[in-house]
């Protein structure tokens, strides 16, 4: 690994009873990185290694993820967004662009709405009509049932369905093992909060606030329905290679996407 990624500063922030662990790596324009559901901040390391010479990267473990701990699992997406905004402010990055993968894209949007409006960059987030917009409670419970009955098997199935294109078997196993290690009680509750999150309402507020949003979406998972419904509300850029975890499959390509989007979106604010 490069010298930059080994020069990692780790800090813990007490917010609403949670002990939120985050890293700061690199120097330059600050950028916040938010992982997806059942993931962790260290998932970004291959990308951090590429971008640390240009950006001051802030990597956050959300409550019940990675090294962060919390006394409760009731964390609505808006509350998670406010938490990310508070961490960014504590680290002198109140207007830093926020990059979020999957659930992290929803959290990034709410973080921008909670504080200073700043660019939001999603990696395969905000683009799944079976989850967004807000679904009714009965449908949410049906979706959650497999995770409540056998969390490990449900996570494995989700990961496999999320990779419709060929993926390195070792990487897929690593992703499944890491995600399956999430607390089996907190994990489904956090997923429930994503399912009942009202993305349309959040996008309405984002439009009023003038928040620029770009989502890099795995082409293999992107539907025409999403483009028709949301293509005029935020920028959707298809990514030709990889599935839902393309940022881990192709870190160099993804780093290039993030770099270009940060520069373009920052100029638009």
Report the alpha-carbon distance of residue 245 to residue 241 in Å, rounded: 10
Percent of the chain with pLDDT over 70: 96
pLDDT category, 174, cuts 50, 70, 90? very high
Which of 228, 261, 262 is closest to 56 using CA atoms? 262
What is the pLDDT averaged over residues 206-228? 97
Neighbours of 39 (CB within 10 A): 24
pLDDT tens column, 4-41 = 566 899 999 999 899 999 999 999 999 999 999 999 99
| Pairing of the two strands 18-25 and 55-60 | antiparallel
pLDDT recorded at residue 137 = 86
CB-based contact 185:73 (threshold 8 Å): yes
Which of 126, 73, 70 is closest to 102 using CA atoms? 126
Q: Among the residues of the chain, which ranges form H helices?
A: 3-6, 45-51, 77-90, 103-114, 137-149, 151-161, 169-180, 186-195, 199-209, 224-230, 246-249, 251-268
| Residue pointed to by tokens 């985050």 | 22
Report whether pLDDT(221) > 80. Answer: yes
Q: What does the radius of gyration of the chain's CA atoms come to, in whole angstroms?
A: 17
| Pairing of the two strands 213-218 and 235-239 | parallel
| Residue pointed to by tokens 């996407």 | 257
Report the alpha-carbon distance of residue 230 to residue 205 in Å, rounded: 15
Helix (H/G/I), strand (E/B), else coil: 244:
coil
| Pairing of the two strands 18-25 and 8-15 | antiparallel
**Domain ranges within the chain, ordered by starting residue:** 3-134+197-268
Report the alpha-carbon distance of residue 33 to residue 266 in Å, rounded: 16
pLDDT tens column, 86-141 = 999 999 999 999 999 999 999 999 999 999 999 999 999 999 988 888 888 899 99
Classify residue 223 by its DSSP letter: -
Q: The dihedral of CA 97, 19, 171, 81: what is its sign?
A: negative
Residue 166 φ then ψ, to 5°: -55, 135
∠ at Cα 105 (138, 80), nearest 5°? 75
Summary mean pLDDT of the chain: 94
Superfamily of domain 3-134+197-268: Alpha/Beta hydrolase fold, catalytic domain (3.40.50.1820)
pTM surpassing 0.85?
yes
pLDDT category, 268, cuts 50, 70, 90? low
The length of the chain, given as a count of residues: 269
Report the alpha-carbon distance of residue 104 to residue 49 in Å, rounded: 20
């Amino acid at each position: 690994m490069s010298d930059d990624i080994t020069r990692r500063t780790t800090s813990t922030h007490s917010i609403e009873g949670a002990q939120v662990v985050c890293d700061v790596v690199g120097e330059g324009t600050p950028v916040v990185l938010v992982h997806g559901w059942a993931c962790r901040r260290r998932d970004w390391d291959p990308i951090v290694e590429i971008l640390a010479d240009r950006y001051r990267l802030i990597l956050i473990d959300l409550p019940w993820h990675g090294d962060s701990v919390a006394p409760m699992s009731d964390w609505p997406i808006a509350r998670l967004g406010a938490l990310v905004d508070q961490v960014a402010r504590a680290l002198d990055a109140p207007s830093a662009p926020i990059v979020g993968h999957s659930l992290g894209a929803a959290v990034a949007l709410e973080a921008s709405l909670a504080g200073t409006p700043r660019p939001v960059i999603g990696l395969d987030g905000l683009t799944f009509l079976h989850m967004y917009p807000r679904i009714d409670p009965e449908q949410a419970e049906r979706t959650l049932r497999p995770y409540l009955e056998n969390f490990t098997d449900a996570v494995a199935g989700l990961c496999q369905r999320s990779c419709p294109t060929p993926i390195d078997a070792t990487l897929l196993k690593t992703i499944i093992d890491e995600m399956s290690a999430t607390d089996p009680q907190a994990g489904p509750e956090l997923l429930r909060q994503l399912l009942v999150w009202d993305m349309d309402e959040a996008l309405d507020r984002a439009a009023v606030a003038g928040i620029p949003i770009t989502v890099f979406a795995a082409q293999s998972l992107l539907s025409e329905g999403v483009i028709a419904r949301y293509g005029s509300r935020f920028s959707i850029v298809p990514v030709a290679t990889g599935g839902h975890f393309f940022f881990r499959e192709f870190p160099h390509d993804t780093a290039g996407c993030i770099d270009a989007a940060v520069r373009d979106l920052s100029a638009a604010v």
